[in-house]
Amino acid sequence: MNKRDNQIGAEEASIRPTRDQAEQAVRTLIRWAGDNPEREGLIQTPARVARAYREFFSGYDSNPMQILATTFSEVDGYDEMVVLKDIRFESYCEHHMVPIIGRAHVAYLPEHRVVGISKLARLVDVYAKRLQIQEKMTVQIADALNTVLQPKGVAVILEAAHQCMSTRGVHKPGASLVTSRMLGAFRDDPSTRREFLSIVGHSTIAPLPNS
Which active-site residues does the annotation give? Answer: 93-96, 134, 162, 164
Nearest to 131 by CA among 93, 76, 90: 93
Residue ranges in 75-94 that form contacts with Zn ion under rule CB under 5 A:
93
What is the C-alpha to C-alpha distance for residues 3 and 124, in angstroms, rounded to an integer? 37
What is the C-alpha to C-alpha distance for residues 66 and 62, in angstroms, rounded to an integer? 8
- Residue 168 touching Zn ion (CB under 5 A): no
Task: State the minimum distance, in angstroms, from the CB of residue 93 to Zn ion.
Answer: 3
Task: State the minimum distance, in angstroms, from the CB of residue 101 to Zn ion.
Answer: 13
- Residue 96 touching Zn ion (CB under 5 A): yes
- Residue 200 touching Zn ion (CB under 5 A): no
- Residue 122 touching Zn ion (CB under 5 A): no
Q: Any bridge partners for residue 114, and if so which?
A: 72
What is the C-alpha to C-alpha distance for residues 99 and 96, in angstroms, rounded to an integer? 9
112 appears as a binding residue in the annotation = no
Q: Cβ–Cβ contacts within 10 Å for residue 66, how many? A: 10
What is the C-alpha to C-alpha distance for residues 59 and 129, in angstroms, rounded to an integer? 4
Choice between 33 and 206, CB closer to Zn ion: 33
Amino acid symbol at 149 = L
Interacting residue with Zn ion among 51, 54, 88, 95 (CB under 5 A):
95
171 appears as a binding residue in the annotation = no
Q: Any bridge partners for residue 84, and if so which?
A: 106
105 appears as a binding residue in the annotation = no
Choice between 95 and 172, CB closer to Zn ion: 95
Task: Please report, in range form, the residues annotated as the binding site for Zn(2+).
Answer: 93, 96, 164
Residues in contact with Zn ion by CB under 5 A are 93, 95-96, 164
